[in-house]
């Protein structure tokens, strides 16, 4: 039926419904031409993310209907003009308009009926109290749901806006289902697909993204979304909704931390009369410990003879120089909170016989100076727990110097607490704590039985266990 329309049959002044029909026709003709499957897309929200998506996806040959509640933005995009200032976007929109690949409307209903995939790039600003305002997302979900109620074909709904973990599953999909009277994964399909572009280099970022993530409960729909990026080289990840939602927040939190870190180090450099640029230039060259995955696995508090001491020294020097470095100042407090959190988790189990496998501040050393697990052991003793320790790398009779003094001062009864083997530790404990990543401690959970429990502070076993036989310190 669609093929009866001719190119140019609808002029610039035709109504949106007629022009959306024309786009269906264009798809039918073009899909045979190129290698990529041409898709008929609606893009909701013609802000920074939405307009860049319109421009870049049209440049890849897709047929796009932009949707916004703002009539001026709709008028501009419909005329092939950019409502935002962003490099390359005006040219891409002008070309797409000339090729009749884009149109825009305020009519969400018509857009959903005419497209196979709706991409939601609606704003999610902050409320005054800091919470995320998802009212626009809720409103667009309701409009889309009402249109889905009348739609015969199956539509993929792709949420691109940044939303907190749980929003897609617990708010967005239920609203779509309620207003459409249809079922997700049966009558329509939902994908969460976070956006990573940066304003100012958004088109370049779209064409060369750091990664592409889809969160979905329907593999085939996730694959169709990935198809939009055919030929673009980037690591791709297909995962569940909340993981995809949280990755975006982990990324942005890390980016903010990096910027603040560089600024605070800059301030300290300036107060010492050192060149901040030279320090950070050298810092960035270290791809082994600095710009790398090292130290980026969730685990337990840091300790040892260097990190706590050196942060204290910087903190003191900053206060002396009246330099404000609140992020660096709060690092040791955050570390102490990890130790308090571990003690709370242990006390919550109600277990009193606690076995600690690994008390050195990290695997591969007998150094216990400022070991967070040593702190935990001390607090547990104060709380009248029976503490046993297995640390194959420590022979108390051979410890020397400040390391020995530290141990004797912090944990005077250390020698008496030592278990002769891991089996003995497990046997005599109700709760076993994995304290560091000594390879001997891998698989401890598989060795416990009955009512015994494991608390993993080393990120060794990466399990989640609803019976709470295994608990991770922060996973
Ligand atoms: N701007 C960025 O660089 C960037 C990067 C990655 C992710 N994000 C995320 O992407 C989302 C969009 O960000 P943005 O900067 O493009 O937002 P924006 O505020 O620039 O644009 C949002 C658009 O949505 C429109 N809108 C609101 N309600 C609507 C409705 N019911 N129907 C249709 N349109 C509606 C608004 O009129 C506006 O044009 C946010 O969640 C943001 O956090 C933004």
The residue segments making up the domain with residue 377 are: 334-472
CA distance 304 to 360: 8
Tell the residue nearest (CA) to atom 10 of ligand 1.
161
The verdict on whether 121 is a catalytic residue reads no
Is the domain of 62 the same as that of 8?
yes
Residue 54 CB contacts under 8 Å (≥ 6 apart), including other chains? 43, 46, 64, 66, 77, 93, 96, 102
CA distance 467 to 469: 5
Q: Among 176, 208, 239, identify where a domain stops.
A: 239
Inform me whether the pLDDT recorded for 409 exceeds 50.
yes
10 pLDDT band, cuts 50/70/90, is very low
465 pLDDT band, cuts 50/70/90, is low
Q: Are 454 and 469 in contact (CB under 8 A)?
A: yes
d(CA 267, ligand 1 centre) in Å: 35
Q: Give domain status of residue 325, yes or no.
A: no
Take residue 266 and report the two structure tokens written for it. 């800059």
Report in angstroms the alpha-carbon separations of 77 from 16, 67, 263.
13, 9, 39
- Say what percent of the chain tops pLDDT 70: 92
d(CA 359, ligand 1 centre) in Å: 49
Inform me whether the pLDDT recorded for 31 exceeds 70.
no
Q: How many independent structural domains does the chain possess?
A: 3
**Catalytic, out of 28, 103, 269, 306:** 306
Helix (H) or strand (E) holding 67: strand 63-67
Q: What pLDDT, on a 0 to 100 scale, did the predictor assign at position 398? A: 86
d(CA 180, ligand 1 centre) in Å: 24
Which atom of ligand 1 approaches the CA of 67 most closely? 33
Average of pLDDT values for 247-258? 98
Is the domain of 269 the same as that of 379?
no
pLDDT, tens digit, for every residue of 328-369?
Answer: 999 999 999 999 999 999 999 999 999 999 999 999 998 999
Q: Give domain status of residue 372, yes or no.
A: yes
DSSP string, 152-179: -S-EEEEE-S---TTHIIIIIHHHHHHH
Which atom of ligand 1 approaches the CA of 140 most closely? 31
Q: Give domain status of residue 307, yes or no.
A: no
Higher pLDDT, 86 or 8: 86
Q: Give domain status of residue 363, yes or no.
A: yes
Is the domain of 272 the same as that of 361?
no
Q: Give domain status of residue 313, yes or no.
A: no
Is the domain of 91 the same as that of 14?
yes
Tell the residue nearest (CA) to atom 25 of ligand 1.
45
Is the domain of 42 the same as that of 9?
yes
Residue 191 CB contacts under 8 Å (≥ 6 apart), including other chains? 156, 157, 158, 159, 214, 215, 216, 218, 221, 222, 225
Tell the residue nearest (CA) to atom 17 of ligand 1.
123
Average of pLDDT values for 246-270? 98
d(CA 68, ligand 1 centre) in Å: 10
Tell the residue nearest (CA) to atom 19 of ligand 1.
123
Average of pLDDT values for 452-467? 83
Using alpha carbons, select from 108, 99, 106 the residue that is nearest to residue 26.
99
Tell the residue nearest (CA) to atom 18 of ligand 1.
47
Q: Are 247 and 194 in contact (CB under 8 A)?
A: yes
Inform me whether the pLDDT recorded for 12 exceeds 50.
no
Scan for tokens 């036989």, then name that residue: 469
Q: What pLDDT, on a 0 to 100 scale, did the predictor assign at position 467? A: 67
Report in angstroms the alpha-carbon separations of 373 from 343, 389, 409, 457.
10, 10, 15, 9
Average of pLDDT values for 304-320? 96
Q: What pLDDT, on a 0 to 100 scale, did the predictor assign at position 22? A: 52
| Dihedral sign (CA 232, 234, 239, 241) | negative
Take residue 179 and report the two structure tokens written for it. 């207003």
Pocket of ligand 1 (CB under 6 A): 44-50, 67-70, 73, 121-124, 136, 139-140, 161-162, 195, 197, 199
Q: Are 88 and 55 in contact (CB under 8 A)?
A: yes
CATH of the domain at 461: 3.40.50.720
Average of pLDDT values for 231-248? 97
Inform me whether the pLDDT recorded for 1 exceeds 60.
no
Q: Give domain status of residue 226, yes or no.
A: yes
Is the domain of 63 the same as that of 28?
yes
CA distance 346 to 343: 5
Q: Give domain status of residue 459, yes or no.
A: yes
d(CA 161, ligand 1 centre) in Å: 7
Is the domain of 6 the same as that of 141?
yes
pLDDT, tens digit, for every residue of 88-108?
Answer: 999 999 999 999 999 999 999
d(CA 162, ligand 1 centre) in Å: 9
Take residue 473 and report the two structure tokens written for it. 């310190």
Is the domain of 247 the same as that of 363?
no
Average of pLDDT values for 415-444? 95
The overall average pLDDT reported for the chain is: 92
Q: What pLDDT, on a 0 to 100 scale, did the predictor assign at position 8? A: 32
Mutation choice for ligand 1 from 52, 65, 68, CB with most ligand atoms inside 8 A: 68
Take residue 290 and report the two structure tokens written for it. 């600095």
How would you write 84-122 as a 3-class SS string? CCCCCHHHHHHHHHHCCCEEEECCHHHHHHHCCEEEECC
- Say what percent of the chain tops pLDDT 90: 85
Pairing label, strands 40-44, 117-120 = parallel
Scan for tokens 């040959």, then name that residue: 61
Q: Are 64 and 140 in contact (CB under 8 A)?
A: no
Low-confidence winner among 249-263, 340-354, 358-372, 451-465 (lowest mean pLDDT): 451-465
Q: What contacts 24+ positions apart, CB below 8 Å, involve 23-30?
A: 23/63, 23/65, 23/103, 23/114, 24/114, 26/63, 26/100, 26/101, 27/63, 28/2, 28/3, 29/3, 30/61, 30/63
Burial letters 90-115, b for 16+ CB under 10 A, else e: eebbeebbeebbbbbbebbbbbbbbb
Mutation choice for ligand 1 from 123, 171, 196, 250, CB with most ligand atoms inside 8 A: 123
């Amino acid at each position: 039926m669609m093929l009866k329309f001719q190119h140019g049959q609808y002029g610039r002044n035709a109504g949106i419904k007629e022009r959306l029909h024309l786009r269906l026709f264009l798809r039918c003709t073009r899909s045979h031409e190129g290698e990529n499957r041409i898709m008929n897309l609606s893009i909701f929200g013609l802000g920074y993310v939405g307009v860049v998506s319109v421009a870049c996806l049209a440049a890849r040959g897709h047929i796009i209907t932009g949707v916004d509640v703002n009539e001026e933005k709709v008028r501009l995009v419909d005329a092939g003009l950019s409502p935002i200032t962003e490099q390359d976007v005006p040219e891409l929109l002008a070309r797409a308009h000339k090729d009749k690949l884009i149109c825009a409307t305020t009519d969400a209903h018509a857009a959903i009926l005419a497209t196979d995939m709706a991409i939601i790039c609606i704003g999610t600003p902050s409320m005054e109290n800091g919470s995320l305002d998802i009212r626009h997302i809720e409103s667009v979900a309701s409009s889309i749901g009402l249109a889905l109620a009348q739609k015969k074909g199956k539509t993929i709904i792709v949420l691109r806006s940044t939303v907190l973990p749980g929003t897609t599953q617990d708010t967005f999909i239920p609203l779509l289902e309620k207003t459409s009277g249809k079922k997700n994964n049966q009558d329509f399909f939902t994908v969460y697909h976070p956006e990573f572009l940066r304003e100012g280099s958004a088109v370049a970022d779209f064409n060369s993204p750091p990664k592409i993530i889809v969160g979905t409960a329907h593999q085939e729909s996730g694959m169709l979304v990935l198809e939009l990026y055919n030929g673009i080289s980037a690591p791709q990840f297909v995962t569940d909704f909340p993981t995809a939602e949280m990755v975006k927040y982990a990324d942005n939190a890390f980016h903010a931390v990096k910027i603040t870190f560089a600024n605070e180090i800059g301030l300290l450099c300036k107060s010492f009369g050192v060149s901040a640029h030279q320090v950070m230039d050298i810092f960035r060259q270290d791809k082994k410990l600095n710009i790398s995955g090292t130290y980026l696995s969730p685990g337990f508090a840091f300790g040892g003879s260097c990190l706590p001491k050196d942060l204290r020294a910087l903190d003191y020097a900053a206060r002396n120089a009246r330099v404000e470095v609140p992020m660096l100042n709060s690092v040791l407090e955050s570390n102490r909170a990890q130790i308090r959190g571990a003690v709370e988790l242990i006390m919550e189990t109600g277990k009193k016989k606690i076995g600690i496998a690994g008390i050195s501040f990290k695997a591969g050393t007998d150094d216990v100076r400022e070991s967070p697990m040593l702190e935990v052991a001390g607090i547990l003793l104060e709380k009248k727990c029976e503490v046993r320790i297995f640390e194959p790398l420590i022979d108390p009779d051979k410890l020397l110097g400040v390391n020995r003094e530290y141990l004797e001062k912090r944990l005077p009864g250390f020698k008496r607490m030592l278990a002769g083997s891991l089996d003995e530790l497990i046997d005599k404990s109700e709760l076993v704590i994995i304290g560091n990543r000594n390879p001997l401690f891998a698989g401890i959970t598989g060795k416990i039985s009955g009512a015994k429990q494991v608390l993993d502070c080393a990120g060794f076993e990466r399990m989640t266990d609803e019976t709470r036989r295994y608990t991770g310190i922060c996973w």
